[in-house]
């Protein structure tokens, strides 16, 4: 390749504790919403790839599930997916929240990185910097770099975009020389069926409380392209208990109706054409122990074994 035509491409894994801001950063970098974002932890389940272009570089972000102490089969599969994303990446970016600092969970991730990084570059992104004072940031930066040999440290606000251009520029320069891996205008490598399911699950998570969001999953059962350019999308919301079905439906079906309207609106905006969305709620007590459900979420069922 000549210098004028050199292109770069590669994978960047975003890792950290649940709710550290990985999904928000991914969406900020890509310039489009490709990953579920809520105030609740552990909402990202699959390794979601968002694609950003910077100069002659194509940066493929892997937004992994948050790394935490797993209790259930689904939890174990999510954590395995997170470490799998890091293992497959050219560069790893660890996110921590500025106001939380070096927590016990973050320290556990650092300890694991020392064994798993295999010499690949690991950068630190301290997120939500607008929540703390400058002297606190300085002390945290020093503490983190004493705990692990990060190649670079970035101070960012994923939500507001502060520092994100600097991080994106460094990643673009640091990836290996390569032909682009995806078409230039592609922002995600997830099938639209999965993106649609994730959008609906996000709306459910935002409206529901406590443990219910973690006891349900959404699958796109049918996708039909219409002659007028619109799409009909049929989805099933699986819940674990009869009582949860009533909560998801809401009084007179008002909850599921509101969820459907919000998801349909976002899908229509995302696709740039009309979408007709139809939701059905079904009880499936043991869905978290069914391999098919894991395949739909992009997780490996076997990774959930104790």
Q: Say if residue 206 is in the same domain as residue 299.
A: yes
Last residue of a domain, one of 125, 140, 174: 174
CA angle 88, 89, 94 (to 5 degrees): 120
Q: What is the pLDDT of residue 195?
A: 80
Cα distance between residue 270 and residue 263, in whole Å: 10
Q: Say if residue 159 is in the same domain as residue 10.
A: yes
Q: Is 143 left (phi over 0), alpha (psi -120 to 50) or beta?
A: alpha
Q: What is the pLDDT of residue 213?
A: 56
Q: How many CB atoms lie within 10 A of CB 145?
A: 13
Q: Say if residue 166 is in the same domain as residue 299.
A: no
Q: What is the pLDDT of residue 45?
A: 47
Name which of 77, 30, 140 is nearest 294 in CA terms: 77
Residue-number span of the structural domain to which 241 is assigned: 192-304
CATH of the domain at 109: 3.40.50.300
Q: What is the pLDDT of residue 206?
A: 83
Query: Which three-class secondary structure state does DSSP give residue 117?
Result: coil
The structure's pTM equals 0.62
Contacts of residue 14, defined as CB under 8 A and 6 or more positions apart, other chains included, come to 22, 25, 26, 61, 62, 63, 64, 93, 95
Intervals of the chain under pLDDT 70: 1-4, 32-48, 63-87, 117, 188-190, 209-214, 287-306
Q: What is the pLDDT of residue 290?
A: 59
Q: What is the pLDDT of residue 296?
A: 54
Q: Say if residue 95 is in the same domain as residue 203.
A: no
Determine phi and psi for 34, rounding to 5 degrees: -120, -5
Identify whether 187 is part of a domain: no
């Amino acid at each position: 390749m000549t210098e004028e035509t050199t292109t770069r491409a590669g994978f960047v894994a975003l890792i950290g504790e649940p709710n550290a801001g990985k999904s928000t950063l991914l969406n900020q970098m890509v310039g489009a919403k490709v990953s579920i974002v809520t105030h609740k932890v552990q909402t990202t389940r699959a390794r979601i790839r968002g694609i950003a272009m910077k100069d002659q570089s194509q940066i493929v972000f892997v937004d992994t599930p948050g790394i935490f102490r797993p209790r259930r089969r689904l939890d174990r599969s999510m954590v395995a997916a997170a470490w799998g994303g890091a293992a497959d990446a050219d560069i790893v970016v660890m996110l921590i929240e500025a106001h939380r600092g070096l927590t016990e969970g973050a320290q556990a991730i650092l300890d694991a990185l020392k064994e798993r990084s295999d010499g690949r570059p690991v950068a630190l992104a301290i997120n939500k910097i607008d929540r703390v004072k400058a002297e606190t940031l300085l002390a945290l930066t020093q503490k983190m770099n004493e705990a692990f040999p990060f190649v670079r440290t970035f101070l960012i606000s994923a939500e507001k975009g502060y520092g994100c251009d600097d991080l994106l520029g460094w990643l673009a320069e640091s990836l290996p020389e390569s032909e682009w891996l995806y078409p230039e205008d592609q922002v995600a490598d997830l099938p639209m069926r999965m993106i649609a399911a994730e959008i609906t699950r996000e709306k459910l998570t935002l409206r529901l409380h406590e443990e219910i969001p973690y006891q349900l999953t959404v699958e796109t059962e049918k996708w039909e392209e219409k002659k007028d350019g619109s799409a009909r999308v049929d989805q099933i919301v699986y819940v674990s208990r009869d009582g949860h079905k009533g909560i998801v439906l809401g009084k007179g079906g008002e909850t599921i109706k509101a969820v459907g309207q919000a998801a349909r609106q976002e899908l229509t905006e995302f696709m740039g054409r009309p979408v007709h969305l139809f939701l059905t709620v079904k009880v499936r007590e043991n869905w978290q122990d069914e391999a098919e459900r894991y395949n739909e979420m992009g997780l490996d069922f076997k990774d959930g074994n104790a």
